């Protein structure tokens, strides 16, 4: 079977869910992890694509009337072309592929051309978006039926297939996809055919995400309310008595950071961890890494040190990046933590400690204050003179630790174990992001992220957001650019940073 798939290719029609990337199914995640190509729609959350880092990503978004839209025909031709090259393709669609997603059309196209495929359902926004807005689409006593329909039919049809008269007589819930543009006509038709003008209605834009916005009203008032609110696609319209439950069941918008937009400036991998923690509190997260963590180009010095690791009394890690880089290199030589049994290990910060713990190592020394100064203070309580120290840090690490230990009589070897670099085109990307997205908070988790941010911004005194810093060293760097630190994390960690933002919100 695998040989046949490789020869002919294989297409997975995958539902990415309604917006919240955490609602992606395990089966969909597995398909992404083994994909060669991912052809994705406009409504797919960028975080979902991270499950396919090895694949080529091809944007195939369709937005009504927009110049950058991809035609349905060209998408179908592309799927066949890639499959005939023997590729394993994930066709990634928002919501569910078979619920107003044109997945049926694409499946037929593939079937007629003998291209093997599968369908992996996704959670449809027709259920998920109302749930995140506190609106159950069914409820005993209010609605025993729910009807899904699209108000955006095939434009080639000569007349509508929707029986508005029959719909108006239904007692249950109506869920209209892609209907914002047609909302004035829709409410008029429902009223004309018998729905009470006082029937409750809600329109949900960007449901299940930190950008979720809900406008509620009645059939009589809804068109004007939506126009005043400036609501545009993508949005869902819910018609029916179940809307009356929203004031009691509106759980998502009550999260402490709902409605807040937070810019994360950390490296790509680490930004995701912080982003998930903030999204769990309801925030809308924007990621623009100010640093790229890359491997060193020459491993000769590191390999030499690792091969003579037993000569060192102390191995010092100041970041989780250093820990990961070191153990990745050990793995290259099929070595592990057992070779460190005779070496003491010092670490700065809970993140570094947690990373060491993941390799079954408990640091022998961790300062109460998670700074270089704090580490030096802790070393003062030990015998340092004539001891061998191996410092494994970034290429831009300050020299305070090395110089002070050397001054105290230690024998110090310092090896850059990873590189901290400024991403290309950072100034342009930063200005575009801040121009198009009002930001409430900006987080900084290191001095290098702050330096790169303010150098790219070129005007530190006019940052249009509150600044949250991970610790005193980073705060000092920020203030050096003339900017204000609104709050500093009590504990320099992801959870500490989230707590700092929550406290700033509550003050």
What phi, psi does 37 have (nearest 5°)? -135, 145
Give residue for tokens 């005043």.
228
Largest CA distance in the chain: 91
Q: Are 216 and 194 in contact (CB under 8 A)?
A: no
The C-alpha atoms of residue 131 and residue 124 are separated, in whole angstroms, by 11
Give residue for tokens 């004539």.
386
H or E stretch covering 324: helix 320-332
**Catalytic residue of the set 20, 36, 41, 96:** 41
178 among known catalytic residues: yes
The C-alpha atoms of residue 306 and residue 303 are separated, in whole angstroms, by 5
Q: Are 271 and 443 in contact (CB under 8 A)?
A: no
440 among known catalytic residues: no
**Catalytic residue of the set 20, 36, 93, 178:** 178
The C-alpha atoms of residue 259 and residue 468 are separated, in whole angstroms, by 18
Q: Are 218 and 201 in contact (CB under 8 A)?
A: yes
For residue 111, give every residue at least 6 positions away whose Cβ sits within 8 Å of its Cβ, in sequence order, or none.
Answer: 117
The C-alpha atoms of residue 102 and residue 353 are separated, in whole angstroms, by 49
Q: Are 144 and 36 in contact (CB under 8 A)?
A: no
Question: Angle at CA 441, nearest 5°, toward 439 and 442?
Answer: 100
Query: What single string gives the DSSP state of each residue in 327-361?
Result: HHHHHHTT--GGGGTTSEEEE-SHHHHHHHHHTT-
Peptide bond into 276 cis (omega under 30): no
Q: In this structure, what token pair is assigned to residue 343?
A: 């070496």
Cβ-count burial 244-271 (b if 16+ within 10 Å, e if not)? eebeeeeebeeeebeebbbbbbbbeebb
SS3 217: strand
41 among known catalytic residues: yes
Using CB atoms within 10 A of its CB, is residue 181 exposed (0-12), middle (13-18) or buried (19+)?
Answer: middle
Q: Which residues are catalytic?
A: 41, 62, 178
């Amino acid at each position: 079977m695998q040989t046949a798939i490789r020869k002919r290719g294989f297409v997975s029609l995958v539902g990415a869910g309604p917006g919240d990337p955490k609602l992606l199914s395990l089966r969909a995640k597995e398909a992404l992890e083994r994909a060669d190509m991912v052809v994705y729609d406009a409504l797919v959350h960028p975080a979902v694509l991270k499950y396919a880092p090895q694949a080529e990503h091809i944007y195939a978004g369709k937005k009504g009337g927009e110049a950058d839209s991809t035609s349905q025909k060209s998408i179908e031709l592309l799927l066949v072309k890639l499959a005939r090259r023997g590729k394993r393709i994930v066709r990634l669609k928002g919501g569910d592929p078979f619920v107003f997603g044109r997945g049926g059309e694409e499946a037929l196209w593939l079937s007629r051309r003998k291209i093997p495929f599968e369908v992996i359902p996704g959670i449809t926004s027709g259920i998920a978006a109302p749930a995140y807005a506190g609106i159950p689409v069914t409820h005993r006593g209010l609605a025993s039926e729910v009807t899904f329909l699209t108000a955006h039919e095939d434009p080639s049809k000569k007349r509508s297939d929707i029986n508005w008269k029959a719909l108006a007589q239904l007692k249950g819930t109506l869920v209209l996809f892609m209907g914002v543009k047609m909302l004035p006509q829709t409410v008029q038709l429902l009223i004309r055919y018998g729905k009470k003008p006082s029937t409750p209605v809600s329109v949900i834009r960007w449901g299940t995400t930190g950008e979720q916005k809900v406008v509620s009203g009645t059939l009589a008032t809804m068109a004007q309310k939506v126009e005043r609110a400036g609501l545009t696609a993508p949005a869902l319209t819910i018609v029916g008595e179940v809307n009356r439950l929203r004031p009691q069941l509106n759980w998502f918008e009550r999260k402490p950071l709902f409605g807040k937009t937070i810019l994360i400036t950390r490296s790509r991998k680490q930004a995701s961890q912080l982003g998930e923690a903030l999204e769990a509190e309801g925030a809308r997260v924007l990621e623009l890494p100010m640093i790229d963590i890359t491997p060193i180009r020459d491993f000769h010095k590191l390999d030499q040190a690792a091969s003579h690791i037993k000569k060192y009394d102390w191995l010092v890690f100041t970041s989780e990046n250093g820990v990961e880089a070191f153990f990745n290199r050990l793995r290259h030589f099929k070595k592990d933590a057992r070779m460190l049994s005779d070496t003491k290990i010092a670490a700065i910060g809970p993140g570094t400690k947690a990373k060491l713990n993941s390799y079954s190592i408990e640091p022998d020394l961790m300062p109460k204050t998670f700074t270089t100064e704090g580490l030096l203070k802790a070393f003062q309580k030990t015998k340092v003179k004539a001891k061998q120290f191996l410092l494994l840090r970034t290429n831009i690490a300050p020299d305070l630790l090395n110089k002070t230990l050397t001054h105290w009589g230690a024998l110090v070897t310092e090896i850059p174990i990873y590189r901290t670099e400024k991403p290309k085109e950072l100034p342009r990307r930063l200005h575009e992001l801040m121009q198009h997205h009002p930001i409430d908070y900006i987080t900084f988790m290191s001095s290098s992220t702050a330096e790169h941010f303010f150098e790219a911004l070129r005007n530190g005194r006019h940052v249009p957001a509150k600044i949250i810093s991970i610790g005193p060293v980073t705060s000092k760097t920020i203030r050096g650019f003339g900017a204000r630190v609104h709050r500093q994390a009590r504990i320099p960690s992801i959870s500490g940073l989230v707590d700092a933002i929550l406290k700033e919100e509550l003050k």
